[in-house]
């Protein structure tokens, strides 16, 4: 093989390697782009959430699209034996730890059981918790829209005594001032982690 032929082979293979690298980089960028939203957060969670329009336990109408401040939202029902009272009690603790920093922060508790959870029932239930926690209820269609927006699971389960209970998602959703879902709290999330997540949510605005 002549040295000129060797050189041209070398250049050819280097060019080939370069082409493969560029293709791989382009493919990787293309793959990553749909996952990463430069405005903050992941596209996969950016599609969860959206305006929730319901009636507060105080009787006022609430439209989460008009809040303009960070808030937390979770779904449940007043007859819930464990998940909902635990979450409400834990959030009460977080709010008291945050103190004045969370004075404008709201936690919305959306009923997935509008049949029993009228605004009056919600008002009496929410009376046991921090004032910054707002019970929301509405017509089955309004509740359904909220449940769909947050892709929440909620299902009526008959009990032996002829009554019923509700199976439901136990996640708390953290929404920023622009109405975007930016994080979640797991059920019984560690108190320090919960406090830090909510503190950061409020600070980011
Ligand atoms: Ni519950």
Ordered domains of the chain (ranges, CATH) = 3-204 (3.40.30.10)
If you measure from the C-alpha of residue 76 to the centroid of ligand 1, how many angstroms do you get, rounded to a whole number? 4
How many Å lie between the centroid of ligand 1 and the Cα of residue 125?
A: 13
Interval 117-145: pLDDT, tens: 999 999 999 998 999 999 999 999 999 99
Contacts of 10 (CB under 8 A, 6+ apart): none
- How much is the pLDDT for 49? 92
Q: What is the pLDDT of residue 178?
A: 93
Instruction: Give residues whose Cβ lies within 5 Å of ion ligand 1.
Output: 76, 80, 83-84
Average pLDDT taken over every residue of the chain: 87
Spatial separation of the C-alpha atoms in residues 198 and 94, rounded to whole Å:
8
Could you give the CA distance from residue 108 to residue 21 in angstroms, rounded to a whole number? 49
Ligand 1 centroid vs 155 CA: distance in angstroms?
Answer: 11
| CA-derived radius of gyration, the chain | 25
pLDDT tens readout for residues 19-63? 666 656 655 554 444 444 444 455 556 689 999 999 999 999 999
- Rounded to an integer, the average pLDDT of 73-83 is 96
CA of 147 to the centre of ligand 1 (A): 14
How much of the chain exceeds pLDDT 90, in percent?
75
Question: How far apart are the C-alpha atoms of 111 and 82, rounded to whole Å?
Answer: 15
Q: Ligand 1 centroid to 144 CA: how many Å?
A: 17
Q: Measure 101 CA to ligand 1 centroid, in angstroms.
A: 28
Distance CA 74, CA 105 (A): 14
Gap between the Cα atoms of 38 and 110, Å rounded: 30
| pLDDT score of 34 | 41
Whole-number Å distance, alpha carbon 168 to ligand 1 midpoint, is 7
């Amino acid at each position: 093989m002549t040295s000129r032929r060797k050189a041209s082979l070398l250049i050819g293979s280097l060019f080939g390697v370069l082409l493969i690298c560029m293709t791989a980089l382009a493919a990787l960028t293309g793959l990553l782009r749909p996952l990463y939203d430069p405005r903050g957060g992941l596209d996969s969670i950016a599609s969860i959430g959206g305006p929730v329009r319901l009636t507060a336990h105080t009787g006022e109408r609430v439209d989460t699209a008009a809040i303009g401040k960070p808030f937390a939202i979770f779904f449940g029902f007043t007859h819930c034996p464990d998940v909902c009272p635990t979450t409400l009690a834990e959030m009460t603790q977080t709010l008291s730890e945050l103190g004045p920093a969370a004075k404008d922060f709201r936690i919305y508790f959306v009923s997935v059981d509008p049949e029993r959870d009228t605004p009056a029932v919600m008002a009496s239930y929410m009376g046991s918790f921090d004032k910054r926690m707002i019970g929301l209820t509405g017509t089955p269609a309004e509740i359904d829209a909220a449940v769909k927006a947050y892709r929440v699971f909620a299902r009526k389960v008959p009990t032996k005594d002829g009554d019923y209970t509700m199976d439901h998602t136990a996640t708390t959703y953290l929404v920023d001032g622009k109405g975007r879902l930016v994080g979640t709290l797991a059920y019984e999330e560690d108190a320090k982690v919960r406090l830090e997540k909510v503190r950061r949510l409020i600070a980011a605005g």
